[in-house]
A and B are shown apart, each in its own frame.
Chain A
Amino acid sequence: MPETFEPRIVAFFCNWCTYTAADLAGVSRMRYAPNVRIIRLMCSGRVDPQFILEAFARGADGVLIGGCHPNDCHYIEGNYKCLRRFRLLRRMLDDMGVEEKRCRLEWISASEGDKVKKVINEMVEQVRALGPLDLPGRFRDWDKEVAALEHAAPGASEPCDAHAHAHKEEATHA
Chain B
Amino acid sequence: MPEKPKIAFYWCASCGGCEESVVDLAEDILMVVENVDIVFWPVAMDFKKKDVEAMPDGSITACFLNGAIRTEEQEEMAHMLRRKAKILIAYGACAHLGGIPALANQFSKEHVMEWAYDKCPTVTNPSRTRPQTSYKDNGRTATLPAFRNVVRALDQVVDVDYYIPGCAPTPALLKGAVVALLSGKLPPKGTTLAPDIALCDECPRKASKPTDVGYPEFKRPHLARIDPNLCMLAQGFVCMGPATRGGCGALCINGNMPCTGCFGPTSRVRDQGAKILSSICSSVAPKDEAGIDAVLEGIPDPVGTFYRYGLAHCLLRRKVSLNDSAEVAAK
Contacts and interface: CB of A to CB of B under 8 A. Distances in A.
B158 interface: yes
A173 B274 contact: no
Interface stretch (B10-18, B28-36, B202-210, B299-307): B299-307
Given A98-B320, A150-B79, A84 B282 contact: yes
A45 B315 CA distance: 21
Of listed A49, A95, A135, A143, residue having the most chain B CB within 10 A: A49
Main secondary structure of the interface of A (DSSP, over half): helix
B315 A151 contact: no
Nearest to B96: A155
Interface string A97-136: 1100000000000000000000000000000000001010
Interface size class of B (residues with CB under 8 A): 35 or more
B146 interface: yes
Range of interface residues on chain A?
A: 35 or more
A174 B146 contact: yes
Contact of A157 (B75, B306, B315): B315
A87 to B, nearest CB: 5
A50 B315 contact: yes
Contacts of B289: 83, 87
A32 interface: no
Nearest to A142: B150
B302 A48 contact: no
Given A50-B275, A53-B314, A56-B316, A87 B281 contact: yes
A158 B155 contact: no
Given A87-B281, A142-B318, A95 B157 contact: no
Contact of B106 (A95, A138, A151): A95
Nearest to A71: B287
A27 interface: no
A154 to B, nearest CB: 5
19 contacts: A48-B274, A50-B315, A53-B314, A80-B287, A87-B296, A88-B277, A92-B303, A97-B321, A133-B320, A142-B150, A142-B324, A145-B148, A146-B148, A147-B75, A149-B157, A150-B82, A150-B158, A151-B159, A153-B158
Interface of B: 69, 72, 75, 79, 82, 106, 132-133, 146-150, 152, 155-160, 190, 269-271, 273-275, 277-278, 281-282, 284, 287, 289, 292-293, 296, 299, 301-303, 306, 313-322, 324-325
Which 7 pairs, one residue from A and one from B, show the smallest C-beta to C-beta distance? A97-B321, A49-B274, A53-B315, A81-B282, A153-B155, A92-B302, A174-B133
